[in-house]
């Protein structure tokens, strides 16, 4: 997978690009960089970690980094949705589907 850049995202948007997309594009690129750092750090550690609670019992818990990585993926997906770049949104454009039922009214 290619590392996303602002230029690449603008190219994906094509004629749908608007100057107002710039902040979302910047946020997506920065968040993706953060995601790659977390993913790299998670590869160096275990998915489960020992945690000792207040009562002194030790249990295995999910690595907090894995939880944050999942949240970051959701943020990235939401940013792509905001830009209209999810596969489902592109399929609608290609197939000529439109959610606007006003014309059918």
DSSP 15: G
pLDDT value of position 86: 84
How is the chain split into domains, by residue range? Answer: 21-83
Largest CA distance in the chain: 65
| Whole-number Å distance between alpha carbons of 10 and 25 | 8
pLDDT under 70: residue ranges of the chain: 1, 92-105
**And the tokens for 70?**
């999942």
Pairing of strands 58-62, 48-52: antiparallel
Q: Can you give the pLDDT at residue 105? A: 42
Considering the entire predicted model, what is its pTM? 0.77
Question: Whole-angstrom Cα distance, residue 24 to residue 30?
Answer: 10
């Amino acid at each position: 997978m290619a590392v996303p850049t602002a230029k690449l995202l603008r190219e994906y948007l094509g004629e749908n690009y608007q100057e107002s997309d710039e902040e979302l594009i910047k946020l997506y690129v920065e968040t993706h960089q953060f995601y790659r750092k977390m993913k790299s750090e998670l590869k160096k550690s275990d998915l489960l970690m020992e945690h000792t609670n207040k009562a002194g019992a030790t249990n295995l818990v999910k690595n907090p980094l894995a939880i944050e990585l999942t949240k970051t993926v959701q943020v990235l997906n939401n940013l792509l949705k905001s830009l209209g770049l999810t596969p489902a949104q592109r399929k609608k454009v290609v197939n000529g589907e439109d959610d606007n039922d006003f014309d059918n009214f």
